[in-house]
C-alpha cells in the first residue's frame, strides 16, 4: 500500500495539530497503517527541542499487556498450559490460586485493580516473590468470572507465569518471541535516546511538571515498555492479522474474540484475551490503550480492512478518547477502500449441487459455496442463526463462527446415494419444508400441509 494522498495527509495532520494545541500536549505522534505498512506518520510539539520522529520513544503503558498475552498464547499453543488452568498451577502460593489463565487475560478474574502498597506507577517496584507475599484476602474483589474488572495485578501474575515457564524474565521472553521476530527492535524495557520525557500539564497554567519513571519490576508486565511509532505500526499490523509467524492467525483471531464487555448493554468496548476491543463507526477494533504518569498511548487495528491507527503523547492526561476513530473517519472520507474485485472460482460439481434453499422446519435457509470448499448457511431473510463451515477430511464440515461454531454439518444420504438431508448437530435441514421423505425427528404429519 502506498502512502496516503497529500490531501489525506493534510487532513490527518490538521486533526492531530488541533489535538496537540487544544489539549496542551508537550508532543504528540500518530500513524496510520494499511496492509501491514506504515502509510502515514504525523507529529506535533517538541521532544528535546526537536519535532519527534517515527523512531522517538514514548512509554506505552498497558499496551505492554498485549505483548505479554502473546507469549501466554504461544505457551498455550505449545501445550505447556491450558487457558483453563488455575494460575496456582503455574504460580503457586498466591491467595487467588483458583482463578484461570483465561480470566486473567480477559480481566474477569475478579482481582483488585492495583497491587498492595504505594501507587505502583510512581514508585520503584519489588520482586515477584515479595509482591505475591503481600497478597491476601483483599486481593479478590469479585467472584471469578462474574464480571469485567480491570486488573494490573493480574498481568503481574501472568508475567511471572511466563518467566517460570520460559526460565528467563518475562521481558526477555517477550523480546525473543514477539518483538524481535516482528522487527520491533526499538521497543525496550527502559528508555533509550531519543525518547520523550513524561510530563503533567498544570490544569490552570501552561507549565509542566516532570513525572517520575521507575522500573516497576514485578508490576512491569502491566505497563513497562517504551516504544516508537514505527514499532507500534508493526504491532498494529500483527493485531490486524499479519502475525509474522509469532502466532497462528487463528490464535490472534481468538485473542480478538469478545470475552467480556466493560460498558454494559451498549457493548461499544470490551476485552478479549489480552486485547482491548471497541466498536466504532461500523468497525470492530482490537488493540489496547496505555496510560502511565507522563504518557498516553493507544493502538487500534481493524482486521477486516487491514488498517490500524495509533498515537503516543508525553502527557499524564488530556488526549481525546475519539482521536483515533476520528483519524479513521478521515481516512474513510478521503480514501474509501475499494472492494476486492469479484472473480469466478473453480467449484466442485458435487458441492455446487448442494447450494440453494434448505429448510429447517418451515424456515428457509440458503446454502452458498465459498472459496476453498467452504460453505455458508444463513437464513434467507437475514435474521437468525448463520455460520460458515470448513471442509473436514472425513467429509463433514466444521462450523467456524456464529451459533454453530465448533459444530458438525454432515450430509445424510439415501441407499441410492442421493442426499436425504443435512444434519447439523441433530438439526435436520431438508430440501422442502418438513420433507416427508426425509428422516425428520418426530416425523411429519401424514396429512401434510393444509388450509
Kindly report the CATH number assigned to the domain that includes residue 240.
3.40.710.10
72-90 average pLDDT score? 98
Tell me, yes or no, whether 36 and 181 share the same domain: yes
- Residue where a domain stops, chosen among 334, 367, 396: 334
Enumerate the β-bridge partners of residue 389: 375, 399
- Cα separation, 184 vs 238, in Å, equals 11
Q: What is the DSSP letter of 86?
A: B
Does a structural domain hold residue 262? yes
Residues 158 and 302 in one domain: yes
pLDDT for the residue numbered 268: 86
Q: Tell me, yes or no, whether 436 lies in a domain.
A: no
3-state SS of 62-83 is CHHHHHHHHHHHHHHHCCCCCC
Please say if the pLDDT value at position 1 is more than 70. Answer: no
Instruction: Flag whether 223 is in a domain.
Output: yes
**Least confident range of 106-110, 281-285, 334-338, 369-373:** 369-373
User: How far is it between the farthest Cα atoms of the chain?
Assistant: 88
Same domain? For 288 and 419 the reply is no
pLDDT of 241 strictly over 90: yes
Question: How many other β-carbons are positioned within 10 Å of the β-carbon of residue 133?
Answer: 13
Q: Looking up cell 501445550, which residue turns up?
A: 79
Please state whether the peptide bond connecting residue 4 to the residue before it is cis, i.e. omega within 30 degrees of 0: no
Environment class of residue 75 by beta-carbon count within 10 Å: exposed (0-12), middle (13-18) or buried (19+)?
Answer: buried
| Interval 260-287 mean pLDDT | 90
With 60 as the cut, is the pLDDT of residue 359 above it?
Answer: yes
Residue 64: phi, psi to the nearest 5? -55, -40
State the pLDDT at residue 103: 98
For residue 136, pLDDT over 70 is answered with: yes
Question: d(Cα 339, Cα 240) in Å, to the nearest integer?
Answer: 18
376 and 227 assigned to the same domain? no
> Can you give the pLDDT at residue 205?
98
pLDDT exceeds 90 at position 312: yes
Using pLDDT thresholds of 50, 70 and 90, give the confidence band for residue 373: confident
Q: What is the mean pLDDT of the chain?
A: 95
E-only strand ranges, 323-386 = 356-360, 363-370, 374-379
CA 89 to chain centre: 26
Same domain, 27 and 146: yes
Report the half-sphere exposure of 93 (CA within 13 A, side-chain side).
Answer: 8
* Amino acid 152: pLDDT: 97
Distance CA 88, CA 97 (A): 4
- The Cα–Cα gap between 12 and 328 comes to 9
Residue 75: inside a domain: yes
Sign of the CA dihedral running 240, 245, 250, 252? negative
pLDDT above 80 (res 107)? yes
Residues 265 and 372 in one domain: no
3-state secondary structure of 52: coil
Query: Is residue 438 included in any domain, yes or no?
Result: no
Q: Is the pLDDT of residue 266 over 80?
A: no
Cell of 35: 496492509
Instruction: With cut-offs at 50, 70 and 90, classify the pLDDT of residue 262.
Output: confident
Dist. CA 195–CA 414, nearest whole Å:
71
Decide: 222 and 65 in contact? Cβ < 8 Å.
Answer: yes
Q: Does one domain contain both 103 and 147?
A: yes
- pTM of the predicted model over 0.75: yes
What domain range includes position 384?
A: 349-429
Mean pLDDT value of segment 18-33: 98
Q: Which of 389, 395, 430, 432 is nearest to 410 (CA)?
A: 395
Q: What pLDDT, on the 0 to 100 scale, is given for residue 69? A: 98
What share of residues in the chain are helix, strand, coil (percent, to 5)? Answer: 25, 25, 45
In this prediction, residue 261 carries a pLDDT of 87
Q: Is residue 274 part of a domain?
A: yes
| pLDDT range class, residue 137, cuts 50, 70, 90 | confident
H or E segment at 181?
helix 180-182
Q: Are residues 282 and 401 in the same domain?
A: no
Q: Could you tell me if 330 and 15 are in contact, meaning their C-beta atoms sit under 8 angstroms apart?
A: yes
Q: What is the mean pLDDT of residues 64-83?
A: 98
Residues 133 and 207 in one domain: yes
| 439 in a structural domain | no
pLDDT digits over 317-332, tens only? 999 999 999 999 999 9
Report the C-alpha gap between 46 and 321 in whole angstroms. Answer: 22
- Give the domain-ending residue among 304, 334, 364: 334
285 and 391 share a domain?
no
Question: Are residue 257 and residue 382 in the same domain, yes or no?
Answer: no
3-class state of residue 328 by DSSP: helix
- The pLDDT of residue 371: 86
Q: Give the pLDDT of residue 346.
A: 86
**Residue 372: predicted pLDDT:** 83
Of the residues 334, 368, 389, which one is the last residue of a structural domain? 334
Calpha distance 212→155 (Å, rounded): 22
How many domains is the chain built from?
2
Q: pLDDT band at residue 45, thresholds of 50, 70 and 90?
A: very high
Task: Return the higher-pLDDT residue of 185 and 382.
Answer: 185
Q: Are residues 181 and 314 in the same domain?
A: yes
* Burial class, 114, CB count within 10 angstroms (exposed 0-12 / middle 13-18 / buried 19+): middle
> What is the predicted pLDDT for the residue at 110?
95
Q: What pLDDT score does 356 carry? A: 96
Least confident of 190-204, 212-226, 236-250, 432-446: 432-446
Distance CA 299, CA 366 (A): 38
For range 227-254, the mean pLDDT: 97
Q: Residues near 404 by Cβ (< 8 Å), separated by ≥ 6?
A: 377, 385, 387, 389, 424, 425
Residue 341 lies in a domain: no
Tell me the pLDDT band of 99, cut-offs 50, 70 and 90: very high
Amino acid at each position: 500500500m502506498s502512502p496516503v494522498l497529500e490531501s489525506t495527509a493534510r487532513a490527518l495532520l490538521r486533526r492531530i495539530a488541533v489535538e496537540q494545541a487544544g489539549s496542551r500536549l508537550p508532543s504528540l505522534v500518530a500513524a496510520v497503517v494499511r496492509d501491514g505498512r506504515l502509510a502515514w506518520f504525523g507529529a506535533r510539539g517538541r521532544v528535546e527541542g526537536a519535532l519527534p520522529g517515527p523512531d522517538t520513544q514514548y512509554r506505552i503503558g498497558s499496551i505492554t499487556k498485549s505483548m505479554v498475552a502473546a507469549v501466554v498464547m504461544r505457551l498455550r499453543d505449545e501445550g505447556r498450559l491450558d487457558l483453563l488452568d488455575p494460575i496456582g498451577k503455574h504460580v503457586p502460593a498466591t491467595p487467588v490460586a483458583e482463578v484461570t489463565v483465561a480470566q486473567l487475560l480477559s480481566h474477569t478474574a475478579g482481582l483488585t485493580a492495583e497491587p498492595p502498597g504505594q501507587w505502583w506507577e510512581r514508585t520503584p517496584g519489588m520482586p515477584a516473590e515479595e509482591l505475591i507475599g503481600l497478597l491476601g484476602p483483599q486481593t479478590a474483589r469479585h467472584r471469578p468470572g462474574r464480571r469485567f474488572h480491570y486488573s494490573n495485578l493480574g498481568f503481574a501474575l501472568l508475567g511471572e507465569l511466563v518467566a517460570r515457564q520460559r526460565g528467563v524474565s518475562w521481558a526477555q521472553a517477550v523480546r525473543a518471541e514477539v518483538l524481535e521476530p516482528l522487527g520491533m527492535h526499538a521497543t525496550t524495557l527502559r528508555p533509550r535516546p531519543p525518547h520523550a520525557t513524561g510530563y503533567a500539564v498544570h490544569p490552570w497554567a501552561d507549565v509542566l511538571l516532570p513525572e517520575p519513571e521507575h522500573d516497576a519490576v514485578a508490576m512491569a508486565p502491566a505497563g513497562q515498555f517504551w516504544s516508537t511509532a514505527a514499532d507500534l505500526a508493526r504491532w498494529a499490523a500483527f493485531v490486524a492479522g499479519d502475525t509474522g509467524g509469532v502466532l497462528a492467525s487463528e490464535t490472534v483471531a481468538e485473542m480478538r474474540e469478545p470475552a467480556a464487555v466493560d460498558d454494559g448493554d451498549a457493548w461499544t468496548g470490551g476485552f478479549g484475551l489480552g486485547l482491548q476491543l471497541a466498536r466504532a463507526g461500523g468497525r470492530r477494533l482490537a488493540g489496547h490503550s496505555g496510560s502511565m504518569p507522563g504518557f498516553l498511548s493507544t493502538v487500534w487495528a481493524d482486521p477486516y480492512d487491514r488498517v490500524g491507527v495509533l498515537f503516543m503523547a508525553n502527557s499524564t492526561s488530556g488526549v481525546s478518547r475519539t482521536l483515533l476513530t476520528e483519524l479513521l473517519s478521515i481516512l474513510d472520507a478521503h480514501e474509501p477502500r475499494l472492494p476486492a474485485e469479484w472473480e469466478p472460482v473453480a467449484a466442485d460439481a458435487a458441492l455446487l449441487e448442494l447450494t440453494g434453499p434448505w429448510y429447517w422446519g418451515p424456515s428457509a435457509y440458503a446454502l452458498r459455496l465459498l472459496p476453498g470448499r467452504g460453505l455458508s448457511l444463513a437464513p434467507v431473510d437475514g435474521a437468525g442463526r448463520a455460520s460458515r463451515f470448513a471442509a473436514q477430511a472425513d467429509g463433514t464440515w466444521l462450523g467456524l463462527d456464529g451459533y454453530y461454531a465448533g459444530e458438525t454439518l454432515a450430509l445424510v444420504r439415501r441407499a441410492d446415494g442421493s442426499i436425504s438431508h443435512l444434519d447439523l448437530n441433530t438439526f435436520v435441514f431438508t430440501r422442502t419444508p418438513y420433507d416427508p421423505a426425509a428422516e425428520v425427528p418426530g416425523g411429519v404429519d401424514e396429512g401434510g400441509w393444509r388450509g
